[in-house]
Structure formats: structure tokens, C-alpha cells
């Protein structure tokens, strides 16, 4: 058994160049698995080459977050003047956000001021909410 393990370790050393340390039990450690783990460890901890870029690095370089145009210039610096349609769209959006804000404030105030009013079947006029 020991002769087989020694032969297997010698063959692994010849094939991979990695020897199993003597403090490991030869019958408990597979020399091929140990050599694979050592290769992976070396690949993980070795430094990267200067010109070597991964696919994810290239992907992140090409990614546009909306603040740069195709030429690499900031959009804010070379912004085009808005036409009438763009202005109308902005005005509609502002009006919509104002209405949503008013509705939110109304719902929030009703939620907090009408606690304990029962099941909610009373009118809002009884609490002076008609002015809102």
C-alpha cells in the first residue's frame, strides 16, 4: 500500500511538478487533487499582467450611465435647447409631481389625524377636513 502511494506521488510530481508535503498522510491525500488545488491557488494569487483585461472590465468601461454621450463628453455641457414639445412634457411632469405630492400630504394628514375615528364611515366634514 505504501509503495503504491509513493509511486502515485512520484507520478504526480513528474506530471505536474508539485509534490505533496511530507507532513500529509500519503494514504489520506490524493496527490492529483492536491496538485490541482495548488495550481488553482497559484493562479488565484499571482499578479495580473498589465495588458490583460477581463471581459467584465471591458464591459464596465463601455457602460454609459447617461451622463456621457458617444464622444465621451458630458451631456450637461453640450445640452441641446429644448423644443416646445420637450417643454410641454417637462411642464406636465412637474404638474403631475405637484398633484401627487398634494395627494400624498392629504392622505398622510388624514391617516394621522383620524386615528380612532371608528371604521371610517364618518364624513370628513365632522372633523373640519372640508377646508383641505
Q: What is the pLDDT of residue 9?
A: 87
Cα–Cα distance for residue pair 25/9, rounded to 1 Å: 12
CA 63, chain centre distance (Å) = 14
- Grid cell for residue 129: 377636513
How are the residues of the chain apportioned to helix, strand and coil, as percentages rounded to the nearest 5?
55, 0, 40
Query: Model-level pTM greater than 0.75?
Result: no
Helix H or strand E encompassing 56: helix 55-62
Spatial separation of the C-alpha atoms in residues 73 and 46, rounded to whole Å: 37
- Over residues 82-119, the pLDDT tens digits come to 677 778 888 899 999 999 999 999 998 888 887 766 66
Amino acid at each position: 500500500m505504501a509503495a503504491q502511494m509513493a509511486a502515485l506521488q512520484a507520478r504526480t510530481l513528474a506530471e505536474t511538478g508539485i509534490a505533496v508535503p511530507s507532513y500529509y498522510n500519503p494514504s489520506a491525500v490524493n496527490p492529483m487533487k492536491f496538485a490541482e488545488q495548488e495550481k488553482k491557488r497559484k493562479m488565484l494569487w499571482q499578479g495580473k499582467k498589465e495588458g490583460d483585461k477581463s471581459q467584465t472590465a471591458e464591459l464596465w468601461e463601455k457602460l454609459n450611465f447617461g451622463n456621457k454621450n458617444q464622444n465621451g463628453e458630458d451631456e450637461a455641457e453640450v445640452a441641446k435647447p429644448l423644443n416646445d414639445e420637450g417643454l410641454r412634457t417637462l411642464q406636465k411632469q412637474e404638474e403631475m409631481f405637484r398633484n401627487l405630492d398634494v395627494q400624498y400630504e392629504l392622505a398622510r394628514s388624514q391617516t394621522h389625524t383620524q386615528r380612532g375615528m371608528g371604521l371610517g364611515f364618518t364624513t370628513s366634514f365632522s372633523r373640519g377636513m372640508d377646508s383641505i
